[in-house]
Structure 1
Amino acid sequence: MSEPLPGLVQAAAAAAQQGRWAEAEQLWRRVLAVDPRHPQALYSLGVHAFKRGQLAEAQAMLQAAHAAAPREPAVAISLAMVLREAGDAAGELRAIEASLVADPYFLPALVAKAACLQRLGKLRAAADVYRNALKVVPNESQWPPPLRAQLLEGRALVEKVGREMEAFLAERLGTRAAALSPAEAERWREAGAIMTGQSAPYPSVCSRLQVPRLPAIPFFDRAGFDWVPEVESRTEAIIAEMRAAMTEDATGFRPYIAYEAGVPVNQWQELNHSKRWSSYFLWQHGQPIAEHLARCPETARALEAVDMADIGGLCPNAMFSALAPHTRIPPHHGETNARLVVHLPLVVPDHCLYRVGYERRRWTVGELLIFDDSIEHEARNDSDELRVVLIFDIWNPLLSPAEREMMRALSAASAEFQLQA
Structure 2
Amino acid sequence: MSNQVEQLIRTAGQLANAGRWDEAERTWLEVRRLEPHNSKALFSLGVHALQRGELAPAIELLRSARSVAPADPVILMTLVNALARQGDREAEHEVIEATLALDAYFLPALLARANWMERYGRASAAATMYRNALKVAPPPSHWPAQLKPQLEHARDVVEHYSKALGEHLETKLAETRAALDPSVAGRWQEAAAIVTGRSKPFVSESNQLLVPRLPAIPFFDRSHFPWIGEFEAKTDAIRAELLAALQSQNDRFNPYIAYGKGDPVNQWRELNHSLRWSAFHLWRGGVPVQENLQLCPLTAEALALVPQVTIGGLCPNAMFSALAPRTHIPPHNGETNARLVAHLPLIVPDGCWLRVGYEKHEWKVGEVVVFDDTLEHEAMNGSDELRVVLIFDVWNPLLAPAERDMVRAMTAAVREFQ
Q: Is the deviation greater in 403-412 or in 327-336? A: 403-412
The match for 2:10 among 7, 14, 18 is 14
Kept after mapping to 2: 8 A contact 1:256/1:277: yes
Once the two structures are superposed, the pairs formed by residues 2-401 of structure 1 within 5 Å of their partners are 5=1, 7=3, 10-19=6-15, 20-32=24-36, 35=37, 39-67=39-67, 69-120=69-120, 122-401=122-401
Kept after mapping to 2: 8 A contact 1:73/1:98: no
User: Scaled by the length of structure 1, what TM-score is found?
Assistant: 0.91
Amino acid in structure 1 at the alignment position of 2:297 = P
Amino acid in structure 1 at the alignment position of 2:56 = A
Q: Is the deviation greater in 339-348 or in 39-48? A: 39-48
Q: 1:287-317 deviations in whole A, cap 9, x for unaligned?
A: 1122222222221121111122111111001
Gaps of 5+ in 1: none
Offset of residue 371 of structure 1: 0.4
Amino acid in structure 1 at the alignment position of 2:408 = R
Amino acid in structure 1 at the alignment position of 2:48 = H
User: Scaled by the length of structure 2, what TM-score is found?
Assistant: 0.91
Q: Is the deviation greater in 41-50 or in 280-289? A: 41-50
Q: Is the deviation greater in 193-202 or in 377-386? A: 193-202
SS of the equivalent of 2:105 reads: coil
Q: Structure 2 vs 1, CA of residues 73 and 262 (structure 1 numbering), >3 Å: closer, same or farther?
A: closer
Offset of residue 286 of structure 1: 0.9
Offset of residue 218 of structure 1: 0.9
C-alpha distance in 2 between matches for 1:260 and 1:73: 46
Kept after mapping to 2: 8 A contact 1:39/1:68: yes
Amino acid in structure 1 at the alignment position of 2:349 = P
SS of the equivalent of 1:392 reads: strand
C-alpha distance in 1 between matches for 2:120 and 2:197: 23
Amino acid in structure 2 at the alignment position of 1:21 = E
C-alpha distance in 1 between matches for 2:302 and 2:341: 15
Amino acid in structure 2 at the alignment position of 1:353 = W
Kept after mapping to 1: 8 A contact 2:337/2:372: yes
Q: Structure 2 vs 1, CA of residues 188 and 6 (structure 1 numbering), >3 Å: closer, same or farther?
A: farther
C-alpha distance in 2 between matches for 1:102 and 1:370: 50
SS of the equivalent of 2:174 reads: helix
Q: Structure 2 vs 1, CA of residues 281 and 110 (structure 1 numbering), >3 Å: closer, same or farther?
A: same
Offset of residue 348 of structure 1: 0.8
Offset of residue 27 of structure 1: 0.7
Offset of residue 7 of structure 1: 4.7
Identity %: 53
Kept after mapping to 2: 8 A contact 1:73/1:100: no
Gaps of 5+ in 2: 16-23
C-alpha distance in 2 between matches for 1:41 and 1:103: 25
Q: 1:41-65 deviations in whole A, cap 9, x for unaligned?
A: 4333322321233222112222333
Q: Structure 2 vs 1, CA of residues 9 and 113 (structure 1 numbering), >3 Å: closer, same or farther?
A: farther
Offset of residue 8 of structure 1: 6.1
Kept after mapping to 2: 8 A contact 1:12/1:25: no
SS of the equivalent of 1:146 reads: coil
Q: Structure 2 vs 1, CA of residues 300 and 353 (structure 1 numbering), >3 Å: closer, same or farther?
A: same
SS of the equivalent of 2:309 reads: coil
Q: Is the deviation greater in 165-174 or in 236-245? A: 165-174
Q: How many residues align?
A: 410
